[in-house]
């Protein structure tokens, strides 16, 4: 469902975002871009604390 752009928009506005250790290291010096794909809560292509849909909806309303 979520595409890359959505995952970046959501992560930037998500109160639950937690960068994975691997991401912090590998992104040093690169663009410092948050995305669900580098959040600890992203598992099996979905948010394991169910924040994705609610954050995405709140983005649509702004």
Binding site for ligand SF4 (CB under 6 A): 10-11, 14, 16-17, 36, 39, 41-42, 47, 49, 51-52, 55
Q: State the alpha helices, DSSP H only, in the chain.
A: 4-13, 21-26, 52-60
Cα angle, residue 22 at apex, residues 16 and 24 outer, rounded to 5°: 65
Residue 4 Cβ vs ligand SF4, minimum distance, rounded to whole Å: 12
Q: Which is nearer to ligand SF4, 12 or 26 (CB)?
A: 12
Q: Find out whether 47 and 36 touch, Cβ atoms under 8 Å.
A: yes
Q: Which is nearer to ligand SF4, 26 or 43 (CB)?
A: 43
Residue 33 Cβ vs ligand SF4, minimum distance, rounded to whole Å: 12
């Amino acid at each position: 469902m979520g595409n890359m752009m959505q995952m970046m928009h959501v992560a930037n506005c998500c109160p639950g975002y937690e960068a994975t250790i691997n991401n912090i290291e590998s992104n040093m010096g690169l663009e410092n871009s948050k995305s669900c794909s580098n959040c600890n809560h992203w598992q099996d292509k979905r948010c394991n604390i169910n924040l994705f849909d609610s954050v995405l909806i709140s983005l649509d309303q702004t």
